[in-house]
């Protein structure tokens, strides 16, 4: 038996409102200023500039994070996370068998142009 999904919506009323772009993580480090362990990631979005994001991707070793292409929402307001502020939301899904909130990245299979829009 399949689970019900949310109400149908149009592209214009959903993804059409979001600025989801491809970026490349150019620096990452463990942050201890948040309630739970997070990575502070500096992400290059090409013509959209470099942004800082904090996320619970800590099941991945840092050497696996740096250089990874990721998808992020650029037009959400900055989000305070304890003493730090995340400028963009990096998209992820629950890391298998990890604590709630621990994520793995949503990334393209092939290397794509930095700054590309999700469609």
Predicted confidence band at 98 (pLDDT cuts at 50, 70, 90)? confident
Average pLDDT for residues 44-69, to the nearest whole number? Answer: 97
* Whether 93 contacts 40, CB under 8 Å: no
CATH code of the region 15-105: 2.40.50.140
Tokens linked to 10 = 């149009």
51 Cβ contact list (under 8 Å, min separation 6): 23, 42, 43, 45, 72, 74, 87, 88
Q: What ranges do the domains of the chain cover?
A: 15-105
C-alpha to C-alpha distance for 36 and 55, rounded to whole angstroms: 10
Confidence of residue 119 (pLDDT cuts 50, 70, 90): confident
- What's the token pair of residue 67? 């250089």
Q: How big is the chain by its Cα radius of gyration, in Å?
A: 15
Confidence of residue 99 (pLDDT cuts 50, 70, 90): confident
Are 70 and 115 in contact, with CB atoms under 8 Å apart? no
Tell me how far apart the 2 most distant CA atoms of the chain are, in Å. Answer: 46
Inter-residue contact 94 to 103 (CB < 8 Å): yes
């Amino acid at each position: 038996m399949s689970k019900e999904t949310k109400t149908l919506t149009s592209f214009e009323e959903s993804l059409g409102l979001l600025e989801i772009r491809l970026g490349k993580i150019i620096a990452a480090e463990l942050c201890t200023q948040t309630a739970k362990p997070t990575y502070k990631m500096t992400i290059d979005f090409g013509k959209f500039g470099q942004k800082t994001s904090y996320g619970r991707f800590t099941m991945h070793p840092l050497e696996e994070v740096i250089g990874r292409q990721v998808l992020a929402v650029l037009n959400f307001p900055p989000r305070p996370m304890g003493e730090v502020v995340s400028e963009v939301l990096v998209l992820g899904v629950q890391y298998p068998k990890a604590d709630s909130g621990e994520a793995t990245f949503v990334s393209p299979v092939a290397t794509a142009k930095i700054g590309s829009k999700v469609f």
